[in-house]
Amino acid sequence: MASEEVQLEETLRKAIDDTSDNRQQTRINAYELICEILMHNYIPDSLANRKMTLLSSLERSMRKGREKEQIIATKTIPLLMVQSETTQDVSEEFVKMLKPTLISITYDFKNANCSKLSTISNKFQAKEDLKQQRLIFRDVLHYLREGVTPDIRIKFEDETLLLDSWTIHHQYACLRNVLASGMNVHLKENLLIRDILTLGPKVSKLEKRFEKILKLEQRASNEVASKNRSIARGKERDKRFASLE
C-alpha cells in the first residue's frame, strides 16, 4: 500500500512538472493525468508543497494557452479546489490567484459565443441533457404544487447522504459533475466535501469496526432477551394449563 502511495505521489509530481513544459501537448497530457488522479484520490498532503506551482501553471495556461489547453486547465481547477481541507483554503489560495484570469476568460468566451449559442436549437442538445431538464422541471413543479422536496438517499460504504433540500441537491449535483466516478471516494475521505454536504467528520475504520461490534452485541442481546421471554411465556402457559387440570 505504501509503495502505491509513493508511486502515485511520484506520478503526480512528474505531471505537475510537465504542466510548465514548452510543448502544449505535453501540458495537456499532464493536466489530463492530474485530473484523473485528483478525481479518484483525496491527497491534500501530497499536494501541500506543489499546489502553488500547479496554480501558477493553470493561470498561465488559461491566460496564454490555446482553446484545448484552456478547457483542460479549467477542468483541473475545481478538482484541485476540492483537495482543500477548508473553504478558507479555497478562498485564500484559488480566488486571489485565479479570479482575474477567470473573469477575463469568461468575458471573452461570452463575447465569442453569444451569437452562436443564441441560435442553437433544442434538437441539437444531447438527449441526456433534455432528459435531465425534464426531471428537474417535474421535481420543481411538484415542489410548487405540493411543497414537497425530492428526498434522495445516497449510500456509500456504511454511510448514507440524505438529499432533502434544493440546496443540498444542487451542491451534490455540482460536485458529482466535477468528480464523476470518483464521487464516492470523496464522500468518504474528503474533509471539505463532507463539510459542504454536512456529513460530519470522517469515520475511521476503527470506529466503524467498533460500531459494528456494538450492533452485533446489541443484536445478540436482543435475541437472548427475546428467547428468554419466549421461554418464560411458555412456562407461564404450562402453569395455567396445569391449574386448569
Closest listed residue to residue 46, CA positions, set 144, 169, 164, 189: 189
Give the range of the structural domain holding residue 161, as residue numbers without chain letter: 127-197
Say how far apart CA 208 and CA 201 lie, in whole Å: 13
For residues 140 and 111, state if they share a domain. no
Task: State the DSSP H helix or E strand holding residue 24, giving kind and residue range, or none if neither.
Answer: helix 24-40
**Cβ partners under 8 Å of residue 56, min gap 6:** 20
Q: What is the DSSP string of 119-133?
A: T--GGGS-HHHHHHH
158 to each of 147, 153, 179, how far by Cα in Å?
31, 13, 20
Please name the amino acid found at residue 207.
E
Say how far apart CA 158 and CA 205 lie, in whole Å: 10
Q: Could you report the per-residue pLDDT of 116-127, keeping only the tens digit for each?
A: 544 544 555 566
Q: Could you report the per-residue pLDDT of 28-38, keeping only the tens digit for each?
A: 999 999 999 99
Q: State the Rg of the chain over Cα.
A: 27
Closest listed residue to residue 20, CA positions, set 68, 82, 67, 69: 69
φ/ψ (deg, to 5) at 153? -115, 125
What is the rounded average pLDDT for all residues in the chain?
79
Looking at residue 187, its pLDDT comes to 93
Is residue 132 one of the residues assigned to a domain?
yes
Looking at residue 152, its pLDDT comes to 84
Q: Could you report the per-residue pLDDT of 57-104, keeping only the tens digit for each?
A: 999 999 899 989 999 998 999 999 899 877 777 777 777 777 777 777
Residue 106 C-alpha from the chain's centroid:
25
Q: Could you report the per-residue pLDDT of 186-225, keeping only the tens digit for each?
A: 999 999 999 989 898 887 665 556 566 666 767 777 777 7
Model confidence, pTM? 0.69
For residues 144 and 227, state if they share a domain. no
**Cβ partners under 8 Å of residue 150, min gap 6:** 139, 142, 143, 163, 169
For residues 77 and 59, state if they share a domain. yes
Sign of CA dihedral 20, 23, 26, 32: positive
Q: Which has the higher per-residue pLDDT, 170 or 179?
A: 179
Closest listed residue to residue 193, CA positions, set 208, 206, 179, 207: 179
For residues 143 and 192, state if they share a domain. yes
The residue from 90, 115, 140 where one domain ends is 115
For residues 105 and 143, state if they share a domain. no
Q: Which has the higher per-residue pLDDT, 139 or 185?
A: 185
**Total number of domains in the chain:** 3
Is residue 135 one of the residues assigned to a domain?
yes
For residues 190 and 214, state if they share a domain. no
Is residue 121 one of the residues assigned to a domain?
no
Query: If DSSP codes are grouped into helix, strand and coil, which group holds residue 54?
Result: helix
